[in-house]
Amino acid sequence: MTRHKVLMTRPYHPEARKLLENHYEVDVWEEHLGPTKGELIQRIGDAHALFTEGVDTIDEEVYDAAPNLEVIGNRAVGTDNLDFLGATKRGILLTNTPGILQNACADMTFALILGIARRVSFGDREIRAGKWRYFDQTPYLGTNVFGKTLGIVGLGGIGTQVARRASGFDMRVIYQSRTRKPELEKELGVEWASDLRTVLHESDFVSLHMPLTPDTEGMIGRSELNQMKPEAFLINTTRGKTVDPTALYDCLVAGEIAGAALDVTDPEPISVDDPLLTLPNVIITPHVASSSKETFRAMAEMAVKNIVAALNGLPMPSCLNPEAIKNR
Which CB atom, from 76 or from 199, has the smaller least distance to ligand GLV?
76
> In whole angstroms, how far apart are CA 48 and each of 67, 72, 309?
8, 9, 13
Catalytic residue among 268, 294, 323, 328: 268
The residue type of 52 is T
Q: Nearest distance from residue 77's CB to ligand GLV, in Å? A: 4
Kindly identify the residues of this chain, within the stretch 86-105, that bind ligand GLV according to CB under 6 A. Answer: 101
Residue count of the chain: 328
Active site residue 60: no
Phi and psi, residue 53, nearest 5°: -100, 160
Could you tell me which of 118, 115, 117 has the C-alpha nearest to residue 107? 115
Helix residue ranges, H only, the chain: 14-21, 37-44, 60-64, 84-89, 102-117, 120-128, 157-168, 182-188, 196-202, 222-226, 245-253, 293-311
Applying CB under 6 A, does 159 fall inside the site for ligand GLV? no
Nearest approach in angstroms of CB 322 to ligand GLV is 20
Question: Is 125 known to be catalytic?
Answer: no
Ramachandran quadrant class, 220 (left: phi over 0; alpha: psi -120 to 50; beta: rest): beta
For ligand GLV (CB under 6 A), the number of binding residues is 6
Torsion sign across C-alpha atoms 226, 227, 232, 234? negative
Site for ligand GLV in 165-204 (CB under 6 A): none
Phi, psi torsion values for 170, nearest 5 degrees: 50, 40
| Maximum Cα–Cα distance across the chain | 73
Q: Would you count residue 77 as binding ligand GLV (CB under 6 A)? A: yes
CB of 81 to ligand GLV, least distance (A): 9
Q: Which span sits near ligand GLV by CB under 6 A: 70-78, 133-141, 150-158, 159-167?
A: 70-78
Q: How far is the CB of 75 from ligand GLV (least distance, A)?
A: 7
Name the segment binding ligand GLV (CB under 6 A); options: 74-82, 253-261, 275-283, 301-309.
74-82
Regarding 324 and contact with ligand GLV (CB under 6 A), the answer is no
Decide if 239 is catalytic: yes
**Could you tell me if 224 and 250 are in contact, meaning their C-beta atoms sit under 8 angstroms apart?**
no
- x/- contact string, 98-137, with ligand GLV (CB under 6 A)? ---x------------------------------------
* Residue numbers 285-304 binding ligand GLV by CB under 6 A: 290
Task: Find, among 303, 286, 276, the residue nearest to 108 by Cα.
Answer: 286
Do 249 and 284 contact (CB within 8 A), yes or no? no
Residues 212-251 that bind ligand GLV (CB under 6 A): none
List the one residue from 72, 76, 108, 219 that touches ligand GLV (CB under 6 A).
Answer: 76
Task: Pick the stretch among 76-84, 133-141, 169-177, 278-286 that binds ligand GLV (CB under 6 A).
Answer: 76-84
Q: Which of 90, 119, 209, 239 is catalytic?
A: 239
DSSP, residue by residue, 252-264: HHTTSSSEEEES-
Residues in contact with ligand GLV by the rule CB under 6 A: 54, 76-78, 101, 290
Residue positions annotated with a catalytic role: 239, 268, 287
